[in-house]
Amino acid sequence: MTELALQTGLASYAATESSSRGRLHREESHPYRAEFQRDRDRIIHSTAFRRLVYKTQVFVNHEGDLYRTRLTHSLEVAQIARTVAAQLGLNEQLVEAICLAHDLGHTPFGHAGQDSLNRCMREFGGFEHNLQSLRVVDELEDKYAAFPGLNLCFETREGILKHCSRRNARELGDLGRRFVEGTQPGLEAQLANLADAIAYNNHDVDDGLRAGLLKIDELCEVRLFGDCHQDVVSRYPKISRRAVIHETVRGMINQIVSDLLMQTRQNIAAASPADIDEVRALSRPLIGFSEQVYAGHRELKSFLNRKLYRHERVLEMTKRADSVVAGLFSLYFADPKAMPKEHGDRAESLEVRLGEAGRARAVADYVAGMTDRYALSAYQRLIDTSLVF
């Protein structure tokens, strides 16, 4: 592993202020806050971040107080990523900023809402939640006098844009180039991506068990869960079922994160990148799992797809979410004045510039920004008073 730079405490391949590609709009530096810290602070104070508390992860918020929301999920992702970043000599403030912002563009009702909005936008460029997160921080947040959005650093925006179609990537300049050329983002961005996968895989197990949609005996057939569960019950035979589940999930996360650290150190040593630009030039990511643990991670993900995300109760929520999102989009697209004035005015302005596609994008921005309960309330008020979740 590359020696840590004495001046910064960061590895030579980490993102630093001196190597940053800067902000879209030039700003003076702050007297006592670092640039990536400022990014993190702006994200935490944003309207979109606060809305995450009422946006679905798997279960609609009002189904129970203890289920994950997009907000608690984002905090858990940041916690995992900062732990790993500290061990690898990466920039913790940057990786935290990326993790806290990665879901800002998610629709109400989780992936069900995203899929519905994408269908609504099919003729107008589609809808990608990662690209929407970038739109939120680049354009839609309205807080500052000198610029639109949050004016985040390139490295933070690079990490937020985890996935992007080639068509859209070509319109993003330097930020989208890697999706066209098949290169990589910095290590902080790579780490945030895998921390996200670790968090939702393992914590969805916890929520699925809490909801009664998953069964422990079926989960024990999944090697990662089964091995950790057996270790817990053999060492602590008298603890409660709730504690067994918590200890098992904790054990899974520890096993996966430990493997991630070991394998990533080997990958970095083999590639020996001198700086972040050499990391970006590689064709494959350096942050990753061993083949064995990656197979276990994929097995758990496959199990959750079959048993949780396609459970009849979740699918019923998906159908209702589709009705709400599609219904609101159709209503507002037909009559932009049905939206609050600022959003209706924006729809008219974008339509003048871009035609119907501009109006559709303004409507999608408004619907995507809604929380679950706001979307349901609007649908009941404007379309169907009888719909409930």
Extract the tokens encoding 169. Answer: 């990537």
CB contact at 8 A, 89 and 9:
yes
**Residue of higher predicted confidence among 210 and 7:** 210
Percentage of residues of the chain with pLDDT beyond 90: 84
pLDDT at residue number 272: 97
Average pLDDT, the chain: 93
- 56: helix, coil or strand? strand
CB contact at 8 A, 131 and 166:
no
The sign of the CA dihedral 78, 82, 85, 90 is positive
Of 140, 183, 193, the C-alpha closest to 162 is 193
**Residue of higher predicted confidence among 145 and 110:** 145
Mean pLDDT over 304-331 rounds to 92
Residues 347-371: tens digit of each pLDDT:
999 999 999 999 999 999 999 999 9
Other Cβ atoms within 10 Å of 239 Cβ, number: 13
Question: What CATH architecture does domain 35-313 belong to?
Answer: Orthogonal Bundle (1.10)
- 18: helix, coil or strand? coil
**Residue of higher predicted confidence among 41 and 314:** 41
Extract the tokens encoding 56. Answer: 């679905």
Percentage of residues of the chain with pLDDT beyond 70: 95
Query: In sequence order, which residues have a C-beta less than 8 Å from that of residue 67 and are 6 or more positions away?
Result: 57, 58, 59, 61, 207, 210, 211
pLDDT at residue number 5: 43
**Residue of higher predicted confidence among 1 and 93:** 93
- 148: helix, coil or strand? coil
The residues facing 274 across adjacent strands are none
Q: How far apart are CA 159 and CA 105, in angstroms?
A: 14
Domain range summary for the chain, segments of one domain joined by +: 35-313, 318-382
Helix ranges restricted to H, 125-185: 129-135, 154-160, 166-169, 177-181
pLDDT band at 3 (very low <50, low <70, confident <90, very high): very low
**Does residue 251 register a pLDDT over 70?**
yes
Extract the tokens encoding 127. Answer: 């809808």
Q: How far apart are CA 68 and CA 337, in angstroms?
A: 34
Residues 152-184: tens digit of each pLDDT:
999 999 999 998 888 889 999 999 999 999 999
Cα Rg of the chain (Å, integer): 22
- Give the amino acid at 44: I
Residues 8-63: tens digit of each pLDDT:
689 999 999 999 999 999 999 999 999 999 999 999 999 999 999 998 777 655 55
pLDDT at residue number 167: 87
Extract the tokens encoding 176. Answer: 């989208």
Mean pLDDT over 113-119 rounds to 95
Of 206, 218, 180, the C-alpha closest to 68 is 206
Q: How far apart are CA 44 and CA 234, in angstroms?
A: 42
Give 3-state DSSP helix, strand, coil % of the chain, rounded to 5: 65, 0, 35
Q: Is 114 left (phi over 0), alpha (psi -120 to 50) or beta?
A: alpha
pLDDT at residue number 59: 61
Query: In sequence order, which residues have a C-beta less than 8 Å from that of residue 371 and are 6 or more positions away?
Result: 51, 53, 54, 55, 61, 108
pLDDT at residue number 63: 56
Extract the tokens encoding 314. Answer: 């979740």
